[in-house]
Structure 1
Amino acid sequence: MSHVKIIPSTDKNYARNITQENMVIYYQKRKIEWDDQLFEQSWKDFDNFEVWCDQTRVGVVRFCIDDQDCRLRDLQIETNSQGRGIGTACLDFARQYALDNHCEKVWLRVFPENPAVKLYERAGFRTYSSGDDLCEMVMDYL
């Protein structure tokens, strides 16, 4: 497996761009318009990290803490870097981040047809609720 390093991020333009690129097919399908004001506010409210692999920036991971739960708000990996174990390393980081912040669970939301659902299940997430437009998943056992 490649060497993955996750560090705090200050580059919101990179985070915005990779999120828009990765999510465009899901947004188009649901006729969701990108909301730049919402992104700007989330950048201020969330803990934002860059994902590096073998000295190349390949993604972002973003969190917020809600009561005693950790919310994985974004996990975006460059398309050409997917399938290399980077997402798994990010989920290991998410588990540790939650523990470090005294959280009892890690939550995330994902579009149900997103292939990342399988990654989340392998990492220990289970489906909490699911509909046509959104699947909420939780990792209970940190």
Structure 2
Amino acid sequence: MAFHLRGATDQDLSFARSLTFEAMSRYYLQYGLLWSNEGFDVAWAGRENWLICSDDAVMGFVSLSRDSRALYIRELHMLQTCRGLGAGSWVLEQMALKAQALGLLRLTVFKTNPARRLYQRCGLIIVGEEDCFWRMERVCQSS
């Protein structure tokens, strides 16, 4: 299956917000955190957002930010029916390529989220923790 990224627009906000809520609501409940649609929308507006696609079908999205040292994956969510097809691994490799100019790819993941295993298989290691999150990173040097 071939995957590609398509730049997300404001018309994709509702899809991204509902997918994120669906994927993350159990962790918010588990850790006593409050979901905010408004908070999601503000974060979306300040980030680089991409739809993950196969042909014309949207499978999920990835949301990014960066600083002088790292590319940060802020959100990475796949539709339930599109999980396990290799798109998540493909996206992580694409993000590692994007991160080469900066040196690091970083993300945080809820400690109980099984996606941590995917991140580890794709070369991210746990470098710290904050409350209910693991901080993970991968060194991405251009050769």
Deviation at 1:132, TM superposition (A): 5.5
Partner of 2:7: 8
2:123 is aligned to 124
Give runs of aligned pairs for residues 71-82 of structure 1, distance below 5 A: 71-82=72-83
Distance 1:23 1:114 in 2: 9
Counterparts of residues 50-89 of structure 1 (less than 5 Å): 50-89=51-90
Gapped runs of 5+ residues in structure 2? none
Q: Supply the distance in 1 between the matched residues of 2:132 and 2:75 (Cα, whole angstroms).
A: 17
Q: Which moved more, 1:28-37 or 1:10-19?
A: 28-37
Task: Report the CA distance between 1:67 and its aligned residue.
Answer: 2.0
Shift of 1:128: 0.5
Cα distance in structure 1, aligned partners of 2:68 and 2:36: 26
The residue type paired with residue 47 of structure 2 is F
The TM-score normalised by the length of structure 2 is 0.91
What does residue 33 of structure 1 align with? Answer: 34
Distance 1:89 1:50 in 2: 13
Larger deviation, residues 129-138 vs 22-31: 129-138
Provide the secondary structure at the position in 2 that maps to 1:124.
coil
- 1:120 aligns to what SS in structure 2? helix
- Cα distance per residue 1:77-121 (max 9 Å; x no partner): 01111111010011011112223xx21101100011111111101
Cα distance in 2 between the residues matched to 1:138 and 1:108: 6
Where in structure 1 are there 5+ consecutive unaligned residues? none
SS in 2 for 1:97: helix
- Contact 2:96–2:140 (CA under 8 A) maintained in structure 1: no
| RMSD of aligned Cα (Å) | 1.3
Letter in 1 for 2:16: A
Q: Which runs of 4+ in 1 moved over 2 A?
A: none
Identity of aligned residues (%): 26
Q: Give the alignment's TM-score, normalised by structure 1.
A: 0.92
